[in-house]
Structure 1
Amino acid sequence: MSVLEGRRVLLVEDESLVAMMVEDMLVDLGCEVVMAMRLDKGVALARTETFDVAVLDVNLGEGRSYPVADILLARCTPFLFATGYGSAGLEPAYRSVPVLQKPYHVEPLEHLMIHLLTHETLPRIDTGKPPSLQFRATHTPGGFFKAEPIR
């Protein structure tokens, strides 16, 4: 059984064909997928639902997915960005977040998600306060990413 089996994944992707393709990839990996194709829906889901991990398209039609990322950081939910621009296309505050290079391919998606899920993270908390854009990025001995919000 894979570490991804039964994991709840928030997928924020505004291109419908791409979203369906990635959803199929995640379902094939054993994940339960909750999809948001608009920024406001992604924000609402990140605030009200619990996820094991999230995949965020950086550039959405109406803006960037950073508000969703901020909520996930505040709730200590691991996530990755998906973009065709690589980490250089991210705002400086987010450059240490793992990036999945688009177009999506199942092997790198699976690899990044497994590493996000198998490394120690902080317990989930919801302080009711607005999330901070500031976080401390650390790398574990294996070179993997771990984000810790600065409070």
Structure 2
Amino acid sequence: MTKQDGISGLRVLVVEDDYWVAATLVEIISEAGAEIVGPVDCVRDALAALDSSPHVASLDVQLGSETSFPIADELDRRGVPFIFATGAASMIPAAHASRPTFHKPASRELLIGALSGALNPA
């Protein structure tokens, strides 16, 4: 990946409860030139992290016994684009069904493409 990937210089909130997946997402996003907010692994910490004004977010759907939908709702309210990074796309409610989604594990190109697409919807 180069720094011309469309997210260079942006703050990306990473919400993921699996340590190894979070580490991989952080590596990929950092290599694309973005600043990482987090990673965080629960709704409470993610909502608190919104004070850092991320430009875009990557949300795991299932966070232990919680879902990331309260975070998605707040991001939507604030006008912050986001993607779902999940293995559980069937859980996404109709209110967020049109959001970009990529299935884990995913390639660097798919992840950066999904984040860029969230920022610049067609």
Q: What TM-score comes out, normalization by structure 2 length?
A: 0.89
Q: Which has the larger radius of gyration?
A: 1
- Does 2:46 align with 1:8? no
> SS of 1:14's equivalent?
coil
Match of 1:67, SS state, is helix
Cα deviation, 1:11-46, whole Å, max 9, x if unaligned, reads 000011110111000001111001112221001112
Deviation, structure 1 residue 96: 1.3
Which 5+ residue runs of structure 2 have no aligned equivalent?
A: none
- Using the aligned pairs only, state the percent identity: 34
Distance 1:115 1:26 in 2: 14
Tell me which residue corresponds to 1:112.
Answer: 114
Structure 1: runs of 5 or more not aligned: 120-143, 145-151
Which has the higher mean CA deviation after the structures are superposed, 53-62 or 97-106? 97-106
| Aligned mates of 1:25, 1:100 — CA distance in 2 | 14
2:110 maps to 1:103: no
Greater helix share, 1 or 2? 2
After TM superposition, where is structure 1 displaced by more than 6 Å over at least 4 residues in a row? none
Q: How many residues align?
A: 118
Q: Residues 113-146 of structure 1, C-alpha deviation per residue, up to 9 Å, x if partnerless?
A: 1122234xxxxxxxxxxxxxxxxxxxxxxxx3xx
Q: Classify the secondary structure of the residue corresponding to 1:30.
A: coil
Write the distance in 1 (CA, Å) between the matches of 2:93 and 2:52: 26
| Greater RCO, 1 or 2 (C-alpha within 8 Å, sep 6+) | 2
Q: Distance in 2 between matches of 1:20 and 1:105?
A: 14
Q: Which residue of 2 aligns with 1:27?
A: 30
CA contact (8 A) 1:22 1:104 kept: no
Contact 2:42–2:66 (Cα < 8 Å) also in 1 = no
Q: Given the alignment of the two structures, is residue 38 of structure 1 paired with residue 42 of structure 2, yes or no?
A: yes
- In structure 2, relative to structure 1, the CA distance for the partners of 1:24 and 1:113 (3 Å cut) is same
CA distance in 2, matches of 1:23, 1:67: 22
